[in-house]
Copies of this chain bind each other. A is one copy, B any other.
Amino acid sequence: MAVCEGKTIKFSNAAITSFAAVVGKIESQGPYGDEFDEIVEDNKGTAETWEQAEALLQTKALHHAMDKAGLAPENADLIIAGDLLNQCTGSSYGLKDFYIPFLGIYGACSTFAEGLLLSAAMVNAGYVDNSAAVTSSHFSSAERQFRFPLNYGGVRTPTAQWTATAAGAAIVTPALAPPYIRAATVGKIQDMGITDLNNMGAAMAGAAYDTINRHFKHMGTHPETYDLIITGDLGEVGSEMLYDLFKRDGVELKSRHKDCGLMLYDRERQDVHAGGSGCGCSASMMCGHFLKQVKSGELKRILYAATGALMSPTMVQQGGSIPGISHAVEICYK
């Protein structure tokens, strides 16, 4: 059967003008803890519930990004946001009081890349003057919703990942200064038949492979073209699977690869098993760390391939598998 190749979209006029990350206490104690814009020390922040606390992370992240860009709400044209909470309420509750046109998206933990991709598309085409990509996740709200009540005290399996309590926001405008968004590849849903809610990395590895591979092909690039290829939250299990998939093609990815899920926490000291995950994981690592490096020119060209497990407890309880998706965004200093 002929396979759909899709398109890699190229942009000539889109840049990330400002970006900000807000994280929880545990994330602030990881190796990049001092790079984030704000730390929320308490799991609920000033909110009454975990869900409301997650919404507040998005509020804060977008406020920081808008402040840095000097963008007032009345001059903002668009927000593109989503999260893991049922009905994406981290975004709708967290961002409603900005009163800015809003497009809700859902890509599980690939959401931040989807938001950057669509923001670049809308700005580059001249439809809007600016677009904010925002996302979040929260350990406690995610565990309750997707797995077990926290008080149940279920033992985590070795493949389990730790949902980051974190949010990231980035404002995309026409290209004046780096980081520039130069290209993006929309992911296809890939179902590797994984049915274990505690093995997200394996569910997403095939999607990351497919998207990165198509991006290379369409752009005429290879791993060495990039300073770094950054995946969202494959964790230890998913990253190894990704290397194996590329090895079948004779491509060595490992030396250029970083996974945000393996960076956000100190895995020797912090008990996060196979790594971090959640929409906020790669969003906070991008907005707290990597985008700064591209802005300064320390990194010249990166490929950010966020990864999402399109899982639903309902579907898994009915015997369904967990499809994965990955969207890739190429971000450059020049």
Contacts and interface: CB of A to CB of B under 8 A. Distances in A.
A186 to B, nearest CB: 4
Interface stretch (A3-11, A165-173, A228-236, A251-259): A3-11
Contacts of A84: 87
A9 to B, nearest CB: 5
Contact of A51 (B103, B310, B314): B314
Of listed A76, A125, A189, A310, residue having the most chain B CB within 10 A? A189
A158 interface: no
Nearest to A211: B101
Nearest to A127: B9
A325 B102 contact: yes
Contacts of A128: 7, 9
Contacts of A49: 318
Interface string A1-28: 1111111010000000000000000000
For this chain, the copies found in one complex come to: 2
A330 interface: no
Nearest to A117: B103
A227 interface: no
Interface stretch (A35-43, A67-75, A262-270, A293-301): A67-75
Interface in A298-334: 310-315, 318, 320, 323, 325, 327
A274 B333 CA distance: 55
A315 to B, nearest CB: 5
A114 B82 CA distance: 14
A48 interface: yes
A interface bracket (residues with beta carbon within 8 Å of B): 35 or more
A87 B311 contact: yes
A198 interface: no
A87 B186 CA distance: 19
Given A188-B101, A189-B96, A318-B52, A4 B73 contact: yes
Contact of A312 (B87, B95, B312, B314): B87
A33 interface: no
A295 B4 CA distance: 29
A48 B191 contact: no
A145 B145 CA distance: 13
Contacts of A241: none
A6 B103 CA distance: 12
Interface in A181-199: 185-191
26 contacts: A3-B74, A3-B99, A4-B99, A6-B101, A7-B77, A9-B127, A48-B318, A82-B104, A84-B87, A87-B311, A89-B320, A93-B315, A93-B320, A96-B323, A101-B185, A102-B186, A102-B187, A103-B105, A103-B327, A104-B106, A104-B114, A105-B106, A106-B106, A118-B118, A121-B121, A121-B127
